[in-house]
Amino acid sequence: MPSSRRVARSLLVGLLHAAVLVAVALDLGYAVGPAEYTAVGLLWRYGGLVVVAALPVWLALRFRLVVPLLALVVTTGYVLGMELTPPGPTFRDVAELERLDEPTGIMVVENGLYIVRYMVNASVWLVGFLFAGLVEAVSRTDWRRLPAALALPDWLSPPVSRRQAAGVAAVGGLLHLVVMVWFARRLGVTMTGGYEWVLYTVSTLGMWLLAAVPLYLLVRYRLVVPATLLTGFIFLDVRSEFAASVDGAHALYFGAWFLFLAIVLVGGVVEYGLRRLDLVGRITERR
């Protein structure tokens, strides 16, 4: 299939994905119409819903990668299921909650806003889908029992040089850094005592390391556990925002990144040790 047709089909699915979610949100009474946002806000929300679906579809058409597509289907299905099944979203005036005599006009939504939060945080989901695709691509290249992915680029097909692996790690780390710092700012992650600048300085570097290290191990040394753990952490982090609790998971992910990095490294050491013992080779019949 020509590359232009793959891109066109992917964008078509992305547009359909966005249209369905926006239509459901409007039907439920959410203020997500085009008139509610600036041009930038509209592009971020609507465009995010398009791209977050288009990328997994393109990966499936181009490389036959199925994990990102399955993750998209599960995520979108979960969002729609939570919105459309009982109890469903309930709109209540703040006056009712605070027992005020006069209505305030400020509405609180209970048991809802899943689509709205999915729209706003689409970039975080996109990073998770992308990293899941990288893990699948390497796994299917190295393990005989899995069907090989189609025509992977040189920087994913062994042998991968240190320079190529460092490039993948640097770009992936930068993408993770930008999205997670933005996510922290959007959620209002802060630090008491006037040390917010320290938190963001240290954690910005941490967000890069947290992604760059496992991606380097994945591409250069074919260790899949660290990158798999990272991808799982990302999904758990962004999924927790559906609950919108006061103690959000991203504050822990962003502020205590070194703990997650330690877990990732331990996972890599365990996988490397098993390979040295040839247990993984006998189980998966690696090439």
Distance between CA atoms of residues 15 and 8, nearest Å: 10
Distance between CA atoms of residues 152 and 247, nearest Å: 41
Residues 103 and 32 in one domain: yes
Residue 129 lies in a domain: no
Angle between helices 122-142 and 39-63 (to 10 degrees): 10
Residue 265 lies in a domain: yes
Q: Which helix (H) or strand (E) holds 287?
A: none
Whose tokens are 């209002």? That residue is: 188
Residues 50 and 102 in one domain: yes
Residues 181 and 257 in one domain: yes
- Determine the pLDDT at residue 144: 75
SS3 110: strand
DSSP 106: -
Residue 125 lies in a domain: no
Task: Give pLDDT tens digits for 207-241.
Answer: 999 999 999 999 999 999 999 999 999 999 999 98
SS3 90: strand
Q: Which helix (H) or strand (E) holds 172?
A: helix 162-187
Residues 113 and 166 in one domain: no
Residue 256 lies in a domain: yes
Residue where one domain finishes, among candidates 101, 120, 139: 120
Give the CA count within 13 Å in the CB-facing half-sphere of 243: 10
Residues 70 and 196 in one domain: no
Residue 127 lies in a domain: no
| Whole-model pTM over 0.75 | yes
Cβ(25)–Cβ(116) below 8 Å: yes
Residue where one domain finishes, among candidates 97, 120, 143: 120
- Determine the pLDDT at residue 94: 56
Residues 169 and 50 in one domain: no
Residues 7 and 105 in one domain: yes
Residues 281 and 197 in one domain: yes
Residue 139 phi, psi dihedral angles, 5° rounding: -60, -45
CA geometry: angle 136, 6, 152, nearest 5 deg: 35
Residue 149 lies in a domain: no
Distance between CA atoms of residues 223 and 286, nearest Å: 12
Print the domain residue range for 33. 1-120
Residues 89 and 180 in one domain: no
Residue where one domain finishes, among candidates 73, 103, 120: 120
Residues 56 and 179 in one domain: no
For the chain, the maximum distance between any two Cα atoms, rounded to a whole number of angstroms, is 73
Taking 70 as the pLDDT cut, the residues of the chain under it are 1, 90-111, 244-247, 279-287
Distance between CA atoms of residues 238 and 71, nearest Å: 13
Residue 164 lies in a domain: yes
- Determine the pLDDT at residue 168: 96
Residues 40 and 169 in one domain: no
Residues 105 and 163 in one domain: no
- Determine the pLDDT at residue 118: 96
Structural domain count of the chain: 2
Residue 126 lies in a domain: no
